[in-house]
Structure 1
Amino acid sequence: MEPIRKLIRAINLYDESTEKFEELRDLVCEISDKKIGFSDPLTKELLFMASQKMRTFGYNVLNNISLPEDVGDNNISFVYKNEVINQFYSSRTGVQLDKFQKEIIDTFTNLVVKRILVSAPTSFGKTFILKEMIFQNIDQYQNVLLIFPTLSLLEENITSFRTFIKQHGLNYNIVSNTHMEFEINQRNLFILTPERVLKILNENPDLNFNFFFLDEIYKIDNFFETSEIDEQYESERDRVFRIILYLLSKTVQDFYLAGPYINLENIGEGLTHFINKNAVKTIQIKTELVSKEHIPAWTKRIYFNKDNYIEYEKSNSKYQKLRELLKLIEKRNMGPTIVYAGTKPKVTEIARESVDTLNKNENITPELQMFINHLERRYSVSYKKLSTHLYWTIITLLKRGMGIHHGSFPKYIQSAVLEFFNNGELKVLFTTTSITEGVNTNAKNIIFYGKKKGIKDLRTFDIKNINGRAGRYYHHFLGRIFYLEKSVYDKLQQEDEKLDFITFSDKKLSDVDIDNTDKEDLTDINRKEKEKREEYLRQFNIDDSVFVRNRLVDKVKQVKLIQYLANKDVNELESTVNECSSIRSFLKHGTIYSVLGSFEKIGMINEYDVSKYGVIASTYSKENGMFNLLQYQLNKQAEDETLNNELVDKIYIQVFSNIRNIIEFRVPKFLSIYASLLEYVCNQKNIDTESLAFESIIRFFELGVKTSIGMFLVENGFPVTSIRILEKNIPRVMEYEVNTLLSNWDDIKLIIRNELDEYELRLFSRIISNVG
């Protein structure tokens, strides 16, 4: 009972200092995790008192301790005092706030200029805070903008805020993509990625936001980027975050910026300038609410504390240590585990080789079995009379109670795997940095298998961000991090990197950054470069509104494309307009090649990529597009080989990566640029552009669907492959308006059920239920 005596002492000596908080937290978490002394009513009373003293009420919730059942009502003064505490820490929306959450909300409320930047650990509760800010300022906030970095996060927050709006009668219209209609004079809650924000702003110049929230603020700095993306896309991602933050801070009165594990006491000169210029209040929360154990696991012994250790039976390789660790965690019932590796091929490799590590899952739930059956049905193609699903590692893993997660999987597969993991149906999740993109997991353990993030070494920030997934507040008291790489453990002890906002720094900026920044905000070297560029551009006499539609593209390159298109004769331009008058016409004429070819002419893309992107986009556009891509890669890579797990995994990764990076990102980007500049040139030559249908063409590549129902479904996490089957087989139904679908769901369900498998029908029904 030594921990109980220590707990009593820590309660008596508690003085709200960080040191005493962490001492008391660790004791509460240890006793709660191990259920030490839980047969004694005094233990629960002490845990309750400790939680109340720290004002971290999640411990009581997780321990299921409450007044007066567990603590007793014999001390009326004690009961009354704690009722007062609970009332004081209850938000206006009825949520119990912890000490740090309340401090942030109170700080925001009391600011004259409501602008804050918060750095806090993972699972700190930033969404609770965000909802409270909106609720408290409901009369002032007509148009609210919430910016999240990924589509998966959009889905999660759309569902969450839809429920929040209904519960509190806030009467907001949720806008989650650039194709939805809205009235700027009505109450709107925009939940968007940065790229979508830019498009909304460009198409609605009179739209004014009253408040915005920017998640994962560290993404303004390429140095901190954690996404699994190639370098070109990576540089564009940090640029769009910078531009969005810069533009919005110029026009929006109130905002809330958030990010994990940023050392706000050690930031770059550019970010310092931005904070001072915009009167941003910074709030640093360093204290973890879940106790963390950092365990060296690269040695022959694994010490859990001074006297408690295990010794590897076979320690010849890092991989063998991983296997023994996974078996140990399963044997001791230590909770769900995430295994981190740095790249999609590497995480797939170690997952594939670890399939037989755990005991076979004899109790697969009906929901998980539906999902497995769905993957086997929808993602299998034949090669030499063999089916690829038989060799696809994700299916084999799921059958063994394990999962794999990386950024190339279709987003609904990522979401489903996470859901099964969080529900306890999967014990182990093999993952890349896709797990750090703001998603919530119920992992109790993290195993660092790799020391890289793609081709780059992990940084201190990356390691802290991944570590944050070990132990989730309100779900666990304890999180364990096992390090199979000593260099990762050592780097964690190093000084934090400096987050910067280079727009305001002396660093040389990209042309796009310079184009989007006012001269008075640039330092000398960048200001002079902007003046040179402006002088060059003036000779073409192009209104700046033309460039604004493509803010992420160098203005000089836009001029080159305008000149290229302007040199075409009228007949050729009219023919192009006709080809772009519908999706069908665009695909029939193979216009994608001429569009991409125009970018080759001005040096934005090379000849090889024109061919590559064109083939992939054209193949994907046809019926059964994804299966065509899989078949194409099989024929290209398998050759005379028979199917095996490594080959099939490689092909799926390649196809999914092509869909994500080329079809959903690069092709829509080029089409968007081309559309606006073609329209400009045609208007200059008095060519009618009313028939242009670029919005639907871009939507087709970006979302993979053609109909309004299809767009609604994909935005709510329904598989694109299944939507395209519905669009092919029941086109009349898919052309309905969304409201018609919702109001006639019982009848429509009878029509679509023959087209869908059990998993898809269940998912479809859940979407209707969430929205209806």
Structure 2
Amino acid sequence: MERKLRLLEFINAYDGSDESFNNLKDIVCEISEQSSEKDEPLMKELLYIASQKMRTFGYNIMNDLHLEDLTSDDDFSFVFQNNLIDQYYTTTTGNRLDYNQMRVLREFQSLENKRLLVSAPTSFGKTFLLRELIYHNRDRYNNIALIFPTVSLLNENVFEFRRFIKEKQLKYKIINNTHIELEEHNLFILTPERMLHFINEYPTLKLDFFFMDEIYKIDNFFNTADNGENVVESERDGVFRITLYLLSKSTNDFYLAGPYINLDKIGDGFKRFIKKFSVIPINIKTELIKKEHIISWTSILRVNDEKIKYIDSSKLNKLKTIISYILNKNMGQTIVYAESKNKVTELARETRDLSPTGMNSKKLNDFIQHLERRYSFNHDGLQTSNSWSIVDALKKGFGVHHGSFPKYIQNEILERFNEGDIKFIFTTTSITEGVNTKAKNIIFYGKTKGHKELKSFDIRNINGRAGRYYHHFIGRIFYLESEIYKKLEQEDDKLDFVTFSDRSLGYIDLDNCHLDDLTISNAQAKALRDKIIFDEGIDPNILLKNRLVDSLKQLEIIKALKNLSKYELESLVAQCSSIRAFLSNNTIYRLLDYFHLVNILDEYEVRRYGIIATQYAMPNGFFLLLKHELDKTEQHSYETVDAAYMKVFYNIRNIVEYKVPKFVAIFGNLLEYVCQLSNVKSDTLAIDGIIRFYEVGVQTEIGSYLAEMGFPITAIKELESRMNDVMNFSREAIYNNFDYLEDQFKRILDTYELNLLRKLITT
């Protein structure tokens, strides 16, 4: 009775303010969590009224409450009123939007220059709203760019927008990598790095609208990227910032989004950006689920009116106690946050035996068998997968997620988690941004990210993953560190856009920005750099093809190449005319030497990158790299095997797939330019093919597609070796003949790979 009265009180007191919304939302979520209470007829009606009053219709959907089930023929006024509400918030797509979603849509549509910056909690549904914006402007927008921070989120949205385009019969062709030809109406779904590539390759490309997610990444202070991602933090914020700058300069309409940004307190540079481009900021602060903050660092754990005394005071024991409690009470999917790849692996290893034994799902078992088949080999008489914690943890329903894993492993672990096959994920920041999860609980084990302290923004962002609207009413956060809990109330630095600020800019911003957008001192620094390039007689557009590399260092490489004889230039072109020639001549070392010459790389990095790239290019490259790491130790413990796998995955992701292609692209652009100046033919250069080989590790058309969409590279290489003719077909051709080809695929692929192939080809 007490909750019913509180619910009625908050319904009557609701006035649309944040305070009244939070009061009503919290009691609705509390009651909805308790099936025994919400099943009473009067409670059902009150819950329905509360949801309608807040205009958060997801609560009624989750509670399976329908107007026709709650009314009688005498309730004409009640029915009429609620039908009007539903009609007002239902768009031409047939979707019913919540209050704040409709507010953003109507604001966007009312503007002549449609430019919004929306800060909202993770449960806001920004990409759901994005589809509404696109549909409502489908006749105005021919070319659209959607910029997502990670490949995982990119791939997820490729599938979503394929369905959306098909369902709504829209005209767009989806472009999700740099190897697809453009058509008249294009929907680019890209990372910032890939978007920059298109800007460079198609300088006259006119976008009508762009969306950028996780907008805070333009500021290094707010960048929470996992160190295992394909770029380091100090580089990633530059990529985001330059992409946003260039798109804002050339595109009329845009929608920028990010969580937990205080738009009332932003830096001077960001204020100038907002004013210059007439951006309308919208600050949405209200969460749509109730958050329960559970103090867990004391001697007693208090959850749901229960008190559990810890056996000892160690943080690891407290974590084990919380995990056991969540498992025993069946409290839902849980993310355990820790500061590093080593730590999350260690925690999974230390806690996996807490999980009750039982049969795993077929999908999870297929995935485990795939990992054992593709990534295990006999080293000194022992199978490496037998001492690989990731496999052992998965067998117990525990997962590990960090940025060094191949993206398809990250995706599959996340999918198994969201489908309930994995109960706990031990993770760095790789899962707290750029992906969607169905976690109900968060456990804060670490208080840093790598060697840097977590900021209050980081903590709020991680907390945002506790509970998901349309799936949960309540999200719980367990704090094993008092400092983390106390930081929630602290204010971080202001989000800034340094390009427009008074701060001294680095070469990336100076090289890419227009003089009239810079403050006086920065404009003077840019003018000096531009004069040096002009005096050398170098076309500045050539240098801008490599936007993230110091123009003056590029200038030095050009000078070095110009000093080569015609024969030496022709030899370089020949070595870069095919991946076969590039590999057989060990050209990677010669190429990297030029970056050593201008102090972009040191001598050790040249040797290390060259060895790793050369070994990985071999048919059994992964195992060569793994053997090299395992040979360094005399024992096969979980710790040493885990460390070896982690190092190899990191080197592949960070060096082979990112840094080497980056240097090949830069060198190729400069070599081609010098050849033009020296009258040396360069039409045989195959730089794009060499880049693609390192980026995705494969050489065929369908192989490139599968790699981009998250198919195991090792499996693609075997398919290319044994079914080369088929792998040169288009995706459409394989789709049309999949039933016929399936038997051939079965001879090569395991069950997990075959099911994934079917999904990627036929979806």
Deviation of 1:36 after TM superposition, in Å, equals 4.3
2:195 to 191, 194, 197: 197
Q: Which residue is equivalent to 2:654? A: 661
Q: Secondary structure at the match of 1:623?
A: coil
Flag the 1:18–1:708 CA change in 2: closer, same or farther, 3 A. same
Alpha-carbon distance in structure 1 between the residues aligned to 2:72 and 2:123:
31
Contact 1:123–1:440 (CA<8 Å) still a contact in 2? Answer: no
Deviation of 1:554 after TM superposition, in Å, equals 0.8
The reply on whether 1:595 has 2:585 as its aligned counterpart is: no
Q: Secondary structure at the match of 2:442?
A: strand
Per-residue displacement from partner, 1:718-767 (whole Å, max 9, x unpaired)? 11111111111111111112222122222222221110000000111111
Alpha-carbon distance in structure 2 between the residues aligned to 1:118 and 1:396:
42
The residue correspondences of 1:115-134 to structure 2 (distance < 5 A) are 115-134=115-134
Contact 1:461–1:497 (CA<8 Å) still a contact in 2? Answer: no
Contact 2:557–2:594 (CA<8 Å) still a contact in 1? Answer: yes
The residue correspondences of 1:357-756 to structure 2 (distance < 5 A) are 357-360=354-357, 362-635=358-631, 637-638=632-633, 640-641=634-635, 643-756=636-749
Alpha-carbon distance in structure 1 between the residues aligned to 2:10 and 2:222:
38
Alpha-carbon distance in structure 2 between the residues aligned to 1:230 and 1:33:
37
Per-residue displacement from partner, 1:115-145 (whole Å, max 9, x unpaired)? 0000000121001111111111111100000
User: Could you tell me the TM-score, scaled by structure 2's length?
Assistant: 0.98
Q: In the alignment, residue 661 of structure 1 is paired with which amino acid?
A: N
Contact 1:368–1:420 (CA<8 Å) still a contact in 2? Answer: yes
Per-residue displacement from partner, 1:300-323 (whole Å, max 9, x unpaired)? 122347xx2413231320110000
Alpha-carbon distance in structure 2 between the residues aligned to 1:248 and 1:280:
14
Contact 2:228–2:404 (CA<8 Å) still a contact in 1? Answer: no
Flag the 1:591–1:431 CA change in 2: closer, same or farther, 3 A. same
Alpha-carbon distance in structure 1 between the residues aligned to 2:226 and 2:603:
25
Q: In the alignment, residue 346 of structure 2 is paired with which amino acid?
A: E
Q: In the alignment, residue 415 of structure 2 is paired with which amino acid?
A: E
What's the % identity of the aligned pairs?
52
Q: Which residue is equivalent to 1:215? A: 213
Per-residue displacement from partner, 1:43-68 (whole Å, max 9, x unpaired)? 11111111000000111111111121
Per-residue displacement from partner, 1:7-32 (whole Å, max 9, x unpaired)? 11111221111111111100000001
Q: In the alignment, residue 153 of structure 1 is paired with which amino acid?
A: L
Per-residue displacement from partner, 1:71-101 (whole Å, max 9, x unpaired)? 5554122122111111111122111111110
Contact 1:446–1:467 (CA<8 Å) still a contact in 2? Answer: yes
Per-residue displacement from partner, 1:199-226 (whole Å, max 9, x unpaired)? 1111112210000001110000011111
Per-residue displacement from partner, 1:267-313 (whole Å, max 9, x unpaired)? 000000000110000000000000001111100122347xx241323
The residue correspondences of 1:266-277 to structure 2 (distance < 5 A) are 266-277=265-276
Q: Which residue is equivalent to 1:108? A: 108
Deviates more, 1:62-71 or 1:159-168: 62-71
The reply on whether 1:255 has 2:248 as its aligned counterpart is: no
Alpha-carbon distance in structure 1 between the residues aligned to 2:538 and 2:178:
26
Contact 1:511–1:554 (CA<8 Å) still a contact in 2? Answer: yes
Per-residue displacement from partner, 1:511-562 (whole Å, max 9, x unpaired)? 1211111111111221121122122222111112111211111110010000
Deviates more, 1:524-533 or 1:202-211: 524-533
Q: Secondary structure at the match of 1:69?
A: helix
Alpha-carbon distance in structure 1 between the residues aligned to 2:175 and 2:652:
25
Alignment size in residue pairs: 762
Deviation of 1:384 after TM superposition, in Å, equals 1.3
Q: Which residue is equivalent to 2:352? A: 355
Q: Which residue is equivalent to 2:238? A: 239
Deviation of 1:497 after TM superposition, in Å, equals 2.8
Alpha-carbon distance in structure 2 between the residues aligned to 1:267 and 1:55:
30
Contact 1:446–1:482 (CA<8 Å) still a contact in 2? Answer: yes
Alpha-carbon distance in structure 1 between the residues aligned to 2:135 and 2:467:
29
Flag the 1:25–1:601 CA change in 2: closer, same or farther, 3 A. same
Alpha-carbon distance in structure 1 between the residues aligned to 2:228 and 2:529:
29
User: Could you tell me the TM-score, scaled by structure 1's length?
Assistant: 0.97
Q: Which residue is equivalent to 2:302? A: 303
Alpha-carbon distance in structure 1 between the residues aligned to 2:91 and 2:261:
26
Alpha-carbon distance in structure 2 between the residues aligned to 1:66 and 1:189:
37
Flag the 1:34–1:496 CA change in 2: closer, same or farther, 3 A. farther
Alpha-carbon distance in structure 2 between the residues aligned to 1:157 and 1:424:
21
Alpha-carbon distance in structure 2 between the residues aligned to 1:5 and 1:315:
42
Deviates more, 1:729-738 or 1:63-72: 63-72
Flag the 1:627–1:537 CA change in 2: closer, same or farther, 3 A. same
Q: Secondary structure at the match of 1:51?
A: helix
Q: Which residue is equivalent to 2:170? A: 170
Any stretches of 5+ residues in structure 2 without a counterpart?
none
The reply on whether 1:765 has 2:761 as its aligned counterpart is: no
Deviation of 1:39 after TM superposition, in Å, equals 3.8
Q: Which residue is equivalent to 2:263? A: 264
Alpha-carbon distance in structure 2 between the residues aligned to 1:329 and 1:623:
45
Alpha-carbon distance in structure 2 between the residues aligned to 1:258 and 1:572:
50
Alpha-carbon distance in structure 2 between the residues aligned to 1:370 and 1:580:
41
Contact 1:470–1:481 (CA<8 Å) still a contact in 2? Answer: yes
Alpha-carbon distance in structure 1 between the residues aligned to 2:69 and 2:735:
45
Contact 1:370–1:759 (CA<8 Å) still a contact in 2? Answer: yes
1:337 to 310, 334, 338: 334
Aligned CA RMSD, in angstroms, stands at 1.3
Alpha-carbon distance in structure 1 between the residues aligned to 2:726 and 2:377:
28
Alpha-carbon distance in structure 1 between the residues aligned to 2:57 and 2:226:
36
Contact 1:291–1:477 (CA<8 Å) still a contact in 2? Answer: yes
Contact 1:312–1:321 (CA<8 Å) still a contact in 2? Answer: no
Deviation of 1:438 after TM superposition, in Å, equals 2.0
Q: In the alignment, residue 293 of structure 2 is paired with which amino acid?
A: H
Flag the 1:8–1:625 CA change in 2: closer, same or farther, 3 A. same
Alpha-carbon distance in structure 2 between the residues aligned to 1:454 and 1:57:
40
Deviation of 1:34 after TM superposition, in Å, equals 1.9
Alpha-carbon distance in structure 1 between the residues aligned to 2:671 and 2:346:
46
Deviates more, 1:30-39 or 1:692-701: 30-39
Alpha-carbon distance in structure 1 between the residues aligned to 2:131 and 2:100:
16
Alpha-carbon distance in structure 1 between the residues aligned to 2:259 and 2:145:
20
Deviation of 1:436 after TM superposition, in Å, equals 2.0
Contact 1:471–1:477 (CA<8 Å) still a contact in 2? Answer: yes
Q: Secondary structure at the match of 1:45?
A: helix
Contact 2:228–2:402 (CA<8 Å) still a contact in 1? Answer: no
Alpha-carbon distance in structure 1 between the residues aligned to 2:74 and 2:331:
38
2:321 to 299, 318, 324: 324
Deviates more, 1:524-533 or 1:447-456: 524-533
Contact 1:263–1:496 (CA<8 Å) still a contact in 2? Answer: no
Q: In the alignment, residue 526 of structure 1 is paired with which amino acid?
A: N
Alpha-carbon distance in structure 2 between the residues aligned to 1:43 and 1:261:
33
Q: In the alignment, residue 351 of structure 1 is paired with which amino acid?
A: A
Q: In the alignment, residue 656 of structure 1 is paired with which amino acid?
A: F
Flag the 1:447–1:230 CA change in 2: closer, same or farther, 3 A. closer
Q: In the alignment, residue 339 of structure 2 is paired with which amino acid?
A: G
Q: Secondary structure at the match of 1:692?
A: coil
Alpha-carbon distance in structure 1 between the residues aligned to 2:732 and 2:70:
49
